[in-house]
Amino acid sequence: MKNIKSAVNAGNESLKTRLEGMGGSFSYDETAYHLPVTFALTGNAVNTADEAQKAFAAAGQNPLVAAECLVAQQAAATGKEPAPYTGFIPDAVLRTLGYSLVDGSILGLMLVAGTPPNPDTAAGLCRELQEKYMLTFLSGDIIRSLGSAGVKVGAEYRLVPLGSRPLSAIHFIDILARVAMMFGGVTPGDAGRLLAYAKERAKAVVIVFPGLDDEEIAVIDSFRLLGIPVLAAGDYQGDEWTRVQPGDAVRTGMELRGIKVTVTAIPIPMACSPAFEGKSIRKEEMFVEFGGGRSPAFELLRVRPAAEVEDGRVRVIGPEIDGISEGSAVPLGIIIEVAGTQMKKEYEPVLERRIHNFVNYGEGSWHVAQRDLIWIRLSREAVAKGVKIRDLGTLLAAKFRMDFPDLLDAVQVTLVTDEATVRAKREKAEAVYRERDDRIRGMRDTDVDLFYSCTLCQTFAPNHVCIITPERPALCGAISWLDGKIAYEIAPSGANQPVEKGKIIDMDRGEFEGVNRFVKKASHGEIDRCSLYSIMEYPMTCCGCFECIAVMLPEVNGFMVVNREYKGETPSGMSFSTLAGTIGGGAQTPGFAGISKGYILSDRFLQAEGGIERLVWMPAILKEELKERLLAVLKAKQRASLFDKIGDETTAETIEDLATFLAAADHPALAMKPLF
């Protein structure tokens, strides 16, 4: 039983002593990187013992530098070890290895060192590594062990025998260093970049069997500084290395570095690609629809403990497509459960919003809106080709795994088409939505310097840019400022980017220099100015996903808000869908704005036009839905009486009725400054 800590100390001492006693000159052949580890860490080209000692000091007595110099000197003095041992691998071979890493034909780099308990253990481990597309380097007795088990070694078998002694493991690091310099743009001497590259890009793991001496333990232990986990499948004492059973070593190692054998094809009878994302399915082309106000529907994504999620499992509760008559509207609940070590609860809404894209990727499936407002259609053509409701689940499970390979380890999907169950589960989902909305409440726009953008809908509305602030959620209501921040964390080049607020141009209208600059660029030059708190001047553009539409009503000097669920006419003379068709598509339409429900409750709502007191009409269902929260907001402003002065379809169907109603109720908007 070796104690790691004391072995490291003894090993470092011994390496230092040997290095100091070293003499002569030495170098590797067929490389432009000198002694690569030393060169990458210090920028020094080492050819003599003297230079080696200087580099060792320059690298802060790094044991990797000592080991490299000693191994190189040994090879120069006594010649390379005979075949099958490779010793130092020339640049040309390495370039091919690096090629395979970038190319994806190998997924990661593994080093196995030491003496395995028996040949079968060694053979089993290496077979598993081959099956998992890992490129494995071997050093020490493991090589002989494999030989006696009849396992062939060599680069062509993705099992590279470095040397008979475990100290040859240093070649693993010289390979990593050269890959970083060749492919990662790491410049020699820039140790910081090298460490970052090794940690973030190089997917490397070490598995150690018993039989290492102190020097070898010191060298392998220092691999951890490069972010390489060391798994001990043998008698090593101490918490520095992760203890594993040989049978679990590969899985554990791959998990630690987030290496995953990826899904490539989705087994459904429907093409699936971003190319179909912008294609809509019209009523005449549709076989069945879900939600959209015609049937109850919702979507919800939750994180669960790994034990509760079986990757790829898809369940349909309720009738399948063959039990549904053509042209009907069917209830649907999409419940996605995910597990992953990196996955956080805060990520849920961001991932949930991706359901929108993924369903639209299907050639014959179409999706709009979010949460409990979703509207999904399956085309007649797709159903004729054999597409079932279950296939939506298969598509979603696969796409989530493909697009978030680092975040998610397992995804299971439940699709509910049974009406009673959908209604019951929707109620629970709504509690989750509320909980999410509560998290952001209380944050102010003035508290932050960064807003977040959302250009997720540019496939439909190419010039639309949402600017999300703490007090103004995305117009779809599904992404808050926090969600934007998290989405940017998960995917730094994704659709949610940080937007520098910059200098204030007009605080009342919420116009900022930085926001204008961003919007100009992200709208491809179409939109020059954007006010975040005004609907009259330079309002934000609209895609098509807005929860509600706010419309100026000049006759009554105020604004009405109509929500997507409300199917009737409004005092503006237009229904929601007519209005939506007028303002969507990425246009800026003064007097009209697509907004989220949450924004109505914000202090910034209609700020430039005089605030909530301008609100003169909402459909009764929306009033009911917001009642509790809106009353709280109004009370805080000492305006509780305003709630009953807001008209709805029961009190005012037309603009004339509304004018009469507002006059009778003495609505404050009537006495406010004219909108024009």
CB of 103 to other proteins, least distance (A): 4
Measured from the CB atom, the residue of 217 and 457 that comes closer to other proteins is: 457
The residue from 325, 493, 638, 650 that contacts other proteins (CB under 8 A) is: 493
Measured from the CB atom, the residue of 257 and 425 that comes closer to other proteins is: 257
CB of 526 to other proteins, least distance (A): 9
E strand intervals along 455-509: 466-468, 498-500, 504-506
Stretch that binds other proteins, among 103-111, 300-308, 605-613, 631-639 (CB under 8 A): 103-111
d(CA 419, CA 454) in angstroms, rounded, equals 34
E strand intervals along 343-409: 365-368, 375-379
DSSP state of 82: P
What's the length of the chain?
Answer: 676
CB of 15 to other proteins, least distance (A): 33
Stretch that binds other proteins, among 94-102, 122-130, 166-174, 308-316 (CB under 8 A): 94-102
d(CA 542, CA 580) in angstroms, rounded, equals 9
CB of 524 to other proteins, least distance (A): 5
Q: Give Cα 490 to chain centroid, integer Å.
A: 4
The residue from 434, 521, 627, 637 that contacts other proteins (CB under 8 A) is: 521
Report if residue 95 touches other proteins, rule: CB under 8 A.
Answer: yes
CB of 497 to other proteins, least distance (A): 12
Report if residue 274 touches other proteins, rule: CB under 8 A.
Answer: yes
CB of 519 to other proteins, least distance (A): 12
Token pair listed for 210: 């018993």
Report if residue 262 touches other proteins, rule: CB under 8 A.
Answer: no
Measured from the CB atom, the residue of 182 and 432 that comes closer to other proteins is: 182
| CA distances to 4, 10, 63 from 17, in Å | 20, 11, 12
Of the candidates 472, 298, 467, the one whose C-alpha atom is nearest the C-alpha of residue 372 is 298
Measured from the CB atom, the residue of 89 and 151 that comes closer to other proteins is: 89
Report if residue 105 touches other proteins, rule: CB under 8 A.
Answer: yes
Measured from the CB atom, the residue of 498 and 610 that comes closer to other proteins is: 498
d(CA 241, CA 505) in angstroms, rounded, equals 56
CB of 323 to other proteins, least distance (A): 36
Q: Is the peptide bond before 84 cis (omega within 30 degrees of 0)?
A: yes
The residue from 524, 567, 627, 635 that contacts other proteins (CB under 8 A) is: 524
Measured from the CB atom, the residue of 183 and 643 that comes closer to other proteins is: 183
CA torsion through residues 326, 332, 337, 338, sign? positive
d(CA 333, CA 336) in angstroms, rounded, equals 10
Q: Coil, strand, or helix at residue 508?
A: coil
d(CA 277, CA 363) in angstroms, rounded, equals 8
Report if residue 459 touches other proteins, rule: CB under 8 A.
Answer: yes
Measured from the CB atom, the residue of 524 and 567 that comes closer to other proteins is: 524
DSSP state of 478: S
What residues from 140 to 199 belong to the interface with other proteins (CB under 8 A)? 182-185
Measured from the CB atom, the residue of 107 and 552 that comes closer to other proteins is: 107
| CA distances to 335, 343, 354, 486, 495 from 350, in Å | 15, 11, 7, 8, 11
The residue from 32, 57, 77, 102 that contacts other proteins (CB under 8 A) is: 102
Size, binding site for other proteins by CB under 8 A? 23
Residue 551 burial (C-beta neighbours within 10 Å; 0-12, 13-18, 19+):
buried
Report if residue 133 touches other proteins, rule: CB under 8 A.
Answer: no
d(CA 560, CA 412) in angstroms, rounded, equals 42
Yes or no: say if 107 and 158 are a contact pair by the CB < 8 Å rule.
Answer: no
Q: In the complex, which residues of this chain contact other proteins (CB under 8 A)? A: 95-96, 98-105, 182-185, 274-275, 277, 458-459, 493, 521, 524-525
